[in-house]
């Protein structure tokens, strides 16, 4: 197939490129490099089945060659990134989604949207299944990301109903692993970098808030399982094993043999107190569930981050 991946030089997007090129598909990556890096895709640059376009999805997208599939992954995805680039984040999820849907409509291509667990906001139910509508502050400090993704889902559903577009939505839960930006402000990278440098590990709040952490290979396997399926629906992809943020910090200190101390700072507004996916639908309809446990995934990630820090 001829596949367009927006945000393809990013963390998750670059793994999708790798898998799909290895499967023999032709890939066009569209990325403005706001949070992505050509370092993640440099091994494909000379591949005859790979094209890189430095372009912002909030601007019109024109591709003359045939397109069979559009995967829309372009967006700042970490709190640090979308706080630093709020308007671009808002436009990537809104205008960018409309533009990529238009591209799929023109080429009669299938379409997959990378949504997020953030559409559930600070959830009032746990675990969160795909039928839950969420508890989101539309005017909050995270709303440029949360509501852009909620709009994106509405746009996908509307195009599917209006134009018989074949669409799929994946709600991605906390994902970690090699190729993350070390300064992206996400909890796993923050803690590992601080631990490896023997710096204080910073926890916002008292550490009782929970997250579920999916290793990137598991997340990508889930996305590809949805992409290859005949399911045109919304799916949670994440790891349902729930951990307190404090427990994560303690694990990382132990795995890195760090001398770091844990310190506590005020919790940011609208920070979710709980995050746990219900993946029953993915298990039953996609025959997918995560395989890599947190300790094993953290060891791989710690080793990669350590090498990156040495290289710096």
Cα–Cα distance measured from residue 240 to residue 144, given in angstroms and rounded to the nearest whole number: 26
Q: Which residues make Cβ contacts (< 8 Å) with residue 56, sequence separation at least 6?
A: 32, 34, 88, 96
CA distance 237 to 286: 10
The residues that bridge with 170 in the sheet, in sequence order, are: 114, 235
Q: Collapse the DSSP code of 295 into the 3-class scheme (helix H, G, I; strand E, B; otherwise coil) and give the result.
A: helix
**CA-to-CA dists, residue 159 to 69, 163, 282, angstroms:** 15, 6, 23
Cα angle 289, 295, 297; round to 5: 60
232 has catalytic annotation: no
- Which among 69, 145, 159, 176 is annotated as catalytic? 145
3-state secondary structure of 82: helix
Angle at 285 between CA 284 and CA 289, to 5 degrees: 60
Q: Please give the positions annotated as active site.
A: 145
């Amino acid at each position: 197939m001829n596949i367009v991946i927006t945000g393809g030089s990013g963390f998750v997007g670059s793994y999708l490129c790798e898998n799909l090129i290895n499967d023999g598909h032709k890939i066009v990556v569209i990325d403005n490099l706001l949070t992505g890096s050509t370092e993640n895709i440099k091994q494909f640059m000379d591949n005859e089945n790979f094209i890189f376009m430095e372009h912002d999805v909030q601007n019109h997208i024109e591709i003359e060659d045939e397109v069979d599939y559009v995967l829309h992954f372009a967006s700042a995805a970490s709190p640090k990134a979308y706080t630093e680039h709020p308007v671009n984040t808002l436009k990537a999820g809104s205008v960018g989604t409309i533009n990529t849907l238009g591209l799929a409509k023109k080429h009669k291509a299938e379409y997959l949207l990378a949504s997020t667990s953030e559409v559930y906001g600070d959830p009032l139910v746990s675990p969160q299944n795909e039928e839950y509508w969420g508890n989101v502050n539309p005017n909050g400090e995270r709303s440029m990301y949360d509501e852009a993704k909620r709009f994106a889902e509405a746009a996908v559903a509307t195009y599917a109903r209006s134009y018989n577009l074949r669409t799929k939505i994946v709600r991605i839960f906390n994902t970690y692993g090699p190729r993350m930006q070390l300064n992206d402000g996400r909890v796993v990278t923050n803690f590992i970098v601080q631990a490896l440098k023997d710096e204080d590990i910073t926890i916002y709040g008292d550490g009782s808030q929970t997250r579920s952490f999916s290793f990137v290979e598991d997340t990508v396997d889930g996305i590809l399982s949805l992409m290859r399926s005949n399911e045109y629906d919304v799916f949670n992809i994440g790891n349902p094993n729930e951990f307190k943020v404090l427990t994560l910090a303690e694990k990382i200190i132990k795995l890195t043999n760090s001398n770091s101390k844990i310190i506590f700072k005020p919790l940011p507004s609208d920070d979710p107190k709980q995050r746990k996916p219900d993946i029953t639908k993915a298990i039953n309809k996609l025959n997918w569930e995560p395989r890599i446990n947190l300790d094993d995934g953290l060891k791989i990630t710690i080793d990669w981050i350590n090498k990156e820090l040495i290289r710096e």
